[in-house]
Amino acid sequence: MNIDWNKNPLIPAIAQANETSQVLMLAYMNEEAYNLTLSTGYAHYFSRSKQRIWKKGESSNHTQEVKDVLLDCDADTVVLKIKQNGVACHTGRKSCFFTSVIQDKVILEQEVDTDAIYGVVDTLYHTILERKNASAEAKSWTKKLLDDKELMLSKIREEADEVCVAINEEDDEQVIYESADLLYHTLVGLGYRDISPDRVKQELGRRFGLSGIEEKESRQK
């Protein structure tokens, strides 16, 4: 049985520990990611947020060695039987499924310090997404911004102006402080739109080597 990629260009891929059958994570594959997984023996996925192929563990080295690939009866979902090197979840937990709805609590503890692996920007962005998906009763400044678009936009404008003032008038420490505020509020805006900062990095990479004039002309074509 073969996958009809024209009918299903993106399919769910469930990663399951080969030895224990514990479900570790759910991601998605397109045809390229599926073929890379089969040819390399390591799990590759298509990130809907990053809009690109990614190898599991490309930043953390917490890779997934594929022991078997199981296709469901409709040929539109796969289960990867894998050996997980390190942890599966970006939060530093063994599995992405760590919150019990019935018990209303977290049932898996963090095993790895993710700041050291992913960097503070990626960790902060994922924290923003967690706030975004929190219940309406949850109180945080991030949640307030995400629930009030006009407030969020006004804060981004305000922080951008404060960075300009600091660069023009203040000392280096104030420039750093105001820039951190702007970065945080910009990440909240990206989270509001579900745009991963990885896509900003990709755009900067695309521009790398182009002069500012060349880059501007390329956008006007």
Let me know how many helices (H) and strands (E) the chain has, helices first: 8, 8
Q: Answer yes or no: is pLDDT of 42 > 80.
A: yes
Longest dimension (CA), the chain: 67
CATH architecture of the domain 119-220 equals Orthogonal Bundle (1.10)
pTM score, two decimals? 0.75
Tokens 């998605």: give the residue.
28
What is the structure's pLDDT at 165?
A: 97
Distances (CA, A) of 119 to 29, 45, 113, 122, 183: 25, 21, 10, 6, 14
In the chain, domain spans: 11-106, 119-220
User: What does DSSP say about strands 64-71 and 78-84: parallel, antiparallel, or unpaired?
Assistant: antiparallel
Place of tokens 């040929």: 75
Q: Which of 65, 50, 52, 117 is nearest to 89 (CA)?
A: 117
- What is the rounded average pLDDT of the residues 162-170? 96
CATH no. for 11-106:
3.10.20.810
pLDDT for residue 14 is more than 80: yes
Return mean pLDDT, the chain. 92
**164 or 133, higher pLDDT:** 164
| Three-state SS at 159 | helix
User: What three-state secondary structure class fits 144?
Assistant: helix
